[in-house]
Structure 1
Amino acid sequence: MMPCDKKEFQKTILAVDDTPDNLMLILEVLQDKYKVKTFKDPKKALEYLHGNVCIDLILLDIMMPELSGYDVLKVLKGNQKTKDIPVIFLTALSGEVDEQKGLEMGASDYITKPLSASILRARINVHLENMAAKEFLKSKADYLEVEIKKRTKEILSVQDITILTLASLAETRDIDTGRHLKRTQHYIKILASALKNHPKFMNYLSEDEIETLFRSAPLHDIGKVGIADKILLKPSMLSDTEFEIMKTHTTMGKEAIERAEEEAGFKANFLETAKEIAYCHHENYDGSGYPLGLSGDGIPISARLMALSDVYDALTSRRAYKEAMPHKEALSIIKEERGFKFDPDIVDAFLMCDSDFFEISQRFADSDVALEQKQKLIDRML
């Protein structure tokens, strides 16, 4: 296919008619304003069109031997590269039925013979102007689509940066987080993707919702910014009283996001999901969790997914008071908690993709240097 020179000002018209006198007339009438390509044989015209995309309009006789104008139009409309080229029928057939047939097949206009030079020029001009207008609107629409996608991407990027910035407020005060936020983001996405076709979850886990889960996950511990350093940074197990205070981070997280929504004056889908996760990711499937003591399907799906993701990361990550647990041991503990701490179906999905969890844990593992640097910072703070 020959490339079309978009910079060329003069339009090109292709005329197909088995009568040489008609082609001569068309050429005389149009050649002062347009480039004109003429063909007596419709088959050769189609061959030319197959190798040339620079035709702006086609004048087509109907009554031709072997291949009629209707046959040619059918071929043109069936080809992606020629289907939008305006076609004007030129014919001695003047019946209403003939004209209707041509228009229904996709012809742009219908001019009866003998041809009038002024009418031919006027009709051609109208259709070329219409095509120019369509191309202009299409280019504008394409431009706007690109701009909308660009701006949407920018907005999502700003949202992601804002989320990570807020989440890192908790992370910088807690040696145990490290790259916890990044890992749990990927864990929850792995689980959600594994369950998207499950009858119990498929109505919730659309592709958009899975992306929302991924983007909202870093806010699950945002409430920890409200926990005192002496509890949050304690290098040993918490007392019962301290643990009760630590548990309030779920409520503080939800309330912090609610205040952000109030200030913004609108509710966003990803913040709704973030609130569910922040508030309910410590709820247990058997009802023994906090802060509400929810159980079973009463716990939001987003929170159930985060619950397993969060615990796996806690088990397999180094803490100030413990070493990282091997993947197989963490796997065993999660299996034992099936139906108690975790939704059984989510545990089953985890067991089918646990190797992906292990790969993420290794890819985003906390470095010893980073942990040591954080520990030195905490030592100065205490």
Structure 2
Amino acid sequence: MTNAADPAIVVVTARPDPGGLTRLFASGVPSLVVTDPGVALAALATKPVDLVLIDAWPGLDAPALIRALRLKPHLAHTSILLIAESDPAEGDPAEARRRGLEAGATDVVLPPLDASDLAIRGRNLIALARAQDAVESQARALTREVERAAAESQEREREIIRRLMLAAEFRDDQAGDHLTRVAGCVLAIADGLGLSEEEGNDIALASTMHDIGKIGVADSILRKPGPLTEPERYEMMQHALRGYRMLHDSPSRLLRLAAEIALTHHERWDGAGYPQGLKGTEIPLPGRITAVADVFDALISARVYKPGWPLERARRFLEEQSGAHFDPDCVAAFLSRWDDVVALVEERPADRAA
């Protein structure tokens, strides 16, 4: 919709009384009458109007003017009404109509000119333009509302994940920095693999819940300072399935991704992992990425039952287990970002027990 100070109709004509054309449509409708197509193009350079009326005359290349108007994005759907030439030298008026429509005119009026017919067509086109503008305005408002709701939904998802991450931290014997370091390592691997920033961020955030299933493991097992018995080890291994069951049927896309990671981050590239014994690319990529990040941080972290490994020793372990425990591409991506990993660990040291 045009502003009150802007013309709603632009008329391109060489008639001695051009006002007669604009008065046919509606009194009080702001209009601009020009006799030069160049002036018309300049006047319509940036602002839309309800109607462009081109009153063709000998020497005016009306189809060329119409095509030039249609090249302007804001005029791509503007109503353009062409009054075809009445000069007999122009030949068949139907041919003029065809050329006008092919050039992009919304409608073409053929001679002899009928004032009543022209008025009806012009008013209908103005009404159509305003209706389309209202629909587009509503569509834009709806798009903004959808985007706002989506942003709020995403923030709620992230808040849920942060709360669940806190629950896992309070329950486990690992310092909260473990999850932060794992997420940072996941980002490094995703970047090394060439994943998009959005993909990397999603996997990193979801990875913070990879051990959420440990909430269901007894303290006597979870905090045991020595080696686990076989039954205790079996019970500990159930955390992968429990984490999946806690999260998999959520309507949240991120929580479903977290469920996939919880289920698959203990699978091994060679098929010797758990709980499903998946092998190679049968393991979803987010699980393969998190496996490298989680094991690396577990190795360098001090626990109640072991000291943390030096970074270089943990690095050698990853290299040795590439193609066995870990996806070789994920290990290579991780090592390609080694300086970033070292900086992350220096910022959040892993040499203390929780």
Paired letter, 2:190: A
Q: Which secondary structure state, in structure 2, belongs to the residue aligned with residue 20 of structure 1?
A: coil
**If the length of structure 2 is used for normalisation, what is the TM-score?**
0.84
RMSD: 3.1
**1:14 positional shift:** 1.5
Match 2:266 to one of 276, 282, 307: 282
Paired with 1:129 and 1:27, the residues of 2 have a C-alpha distance of: 15
Q: Which secondary structure state, in structure 1, belongs to the residue aligned with residue 49 of structure 2?
A: coil
Paired with 2:38 and 2:66, the residues of 1 have a C-alpha distance of: 12
User: Closer, same or farther in 2 for the Cα pair 1:102/1:195, shift >3 Å?
Assistant: same
**1:81 positional shift:** 3.6
- 2:54 corresponding residue in structure 1: 60
- 1:378 corresponding residue in structure 2: none
Instruction: Say if 2:7 is the partner of 1:17.
Output: no
Instruction: Say if 2:21 is the partner of 1:37.
Output: no
User: Closer, same or farther in 2 for the Cα pair 1:10/1:351, shift >3 Å?
Assistant: closer
**1:138 positional shift:** 0.9
Instruction: Say if 2:64 is the partner of 1:80.
Output: no
- 1:327 corresponding residue in structure 2: 311
Instruction: Say if 2:237 is the partner of 1:247.
Output: yes
Instruction: Say if 2:331 is the partner of 1:347.
Output: yes
- 1:225 corresponding residue in structure 2: 215
User: Closer, same or farther in 2 for the Cα pair 1:305/1:107, shift >3 Å?
Assistant: same
Paired with 1:222 and 1:97, the residues of 2 have a C-alpha distance of: 74
Q: Is the 8 A contact 2:191 2:333 kept in 1?
A: no
Q: Is the 8 A contact 1:338 1:344 kept in 2?
A: yes
Paired with 1:56 and 1:159, the residues of 2 have a C-alpha distance of: 44
Structure-to-structure mapping, 1:99-138, within 5 angstroms: 99-138=97-136
**1:153 positional shift:** 1.9
Q: Is the 8 A contact 2:51 2:129 kept in 1?
A: no
Paired with 2:193 and 2:295, the residues of 1 have a C-alpha distance of: 19
Paired with 2:283 and 2:9, the residues of 1 have a C-alpha distance of: 68
- 1:309 corresponding residue in structure 2: 293
- 1:168 corresponding residue in structure 2: 166
User: Closer, same or farther in 2 for the Cα pair 1:327/1:20, shift >3 Å?
Assistant: farther
Q: Which moved more, 1:298-307 or 1:209-218?
A: 209-218
User: Closer, same or farther in 2 for the Cα pair 1:26/1:5, shift >3 Å?
Assistant: closer
**If the length of structure 1 is used for normalisation, what is the TM-score?**
0.79
Q: Which secondary structure state, in structure 1, belongs to the residue aligned with residue 53 of structure 2?
A: strand
**1:178 positional shift:** 1.2
Paired with 2:246 and 2:44, the residues of 1 have a C-alpha distance of: 65
Q: Deviations over 1:135-168 (max 9, x none)?
A: 1111111111111121122222222222332232
Instruction: Say if 2:183 is the partner of 1:185.
Output: yes
Paired with 2:78 and 2:58, the residues of 1 have a C-alpha distance of: 21
